[in-house]
Amino acid sequence: MVETIQRRIQDGVGRFRQAGADYLAYALIDIIVDQFFVVLEMIEDDMERLELEVVQNPGPDMLQRIHRLKNAMIVLRKSVWPLREVLGALQRGETPLVQERTQVYLRDVYDHTIQIIDTVETFRDVLSGLVDIHLSSVSNRLNEVMKMLTIIATVFMPLSFLAGVYGTNFKHLPELEWPYAYPTFWAICIATAGLMLRYFRRRQWL
């Protein structure tokens, strides 16, 4: 990085000593811009891992991690945007301090800054999509839980009715005198629950 340029200047390697200060400025700016690509690669790896977790196992901390990455994108954009403006002015030859042969290199670095800004915008869109995916995943899980709870409550509604009728304190209930009243009651409850579950399965609610 900067130490490499310093060492090359001391050793007389490259064109640093023959070129002017404008070429040295280009080399330093180029190192800075290259570091942005390194940061973007790290963020891309985090986004890929986060995308898998959002789909497979959405946790309560997902939104915080997504917003943390979005804030990083904002910081990167604010850092690169002024640099792009400066490079644009330098490579257009608006200052006599930059030689024409150095403007070719500056134009290349300027294109890299454009690429970085486009990548940042793409990552921000992807992160916004991850927020929607996370909310959809959480909503789907909640719907599955609510569906199961509704099915359980629906199955137990007629069973609760039967238990309520035969759990009353009335003295004269004809069925209580039957020898097989108790097993018949359980048979009716099990059959009712089985028929309801079969109906739910046929309607693809289970």
Query: What average pLDDT values come out for the chain (206 residues) when binned by 10 residues?
Result: 57 58 78 88 88 77 85 88 82 70 81 90 89 82 83 85 76 73 82 84 75
Can you give the pTM of this predicted structure? 0.64
Domain ranges in the chain with CATH number 1.20.58.340:
2-137, 148-202
Domain 148-202 in CATH 1.20.58.340? The answer is yes
Q: What is the C-alpha to C-alpha distance for residues 67 and 6, in angstroms, rounded to an integer?
A: 39
pLDDT for position 47 = 87
pLDDT for position 166 = 74
- Name 58's Cβ contacts closer than 8 Å, sequence gap at least 6: 134, 137, 138, 141
CA-CA-CA-CA torsion for 139, 142, 147, 150, nearest 10 degrees? -130
Rounded to 5 degrees, φ, ψ at 69 are -70, -35
Quick check: 9 and 39 in contact, CB under 8 A? no
Q: Which amino acid is at 126?
A: V
Residues making up the chain, counted from first to last: 206
pLDDT for position 158 = 84
pLDDT for position 67 = 86
Class of domain 2-137: mainly alpha
pLDDT for position 183 = 81
pLDDT for position 54 = 81
Quick check: 130 and 47 in contact, CB under 8 A? yes
The DSSP code sequence of 63-132 is HHHHHHHHHHHHHHHHHHHHHHHHHHHHHTT-STTS-HHHHHHHHHHHHHHHHHHHHHHHHHHHHHHHHH
pLDDT for position 6 = 59
pLDDT for position 7 = 60
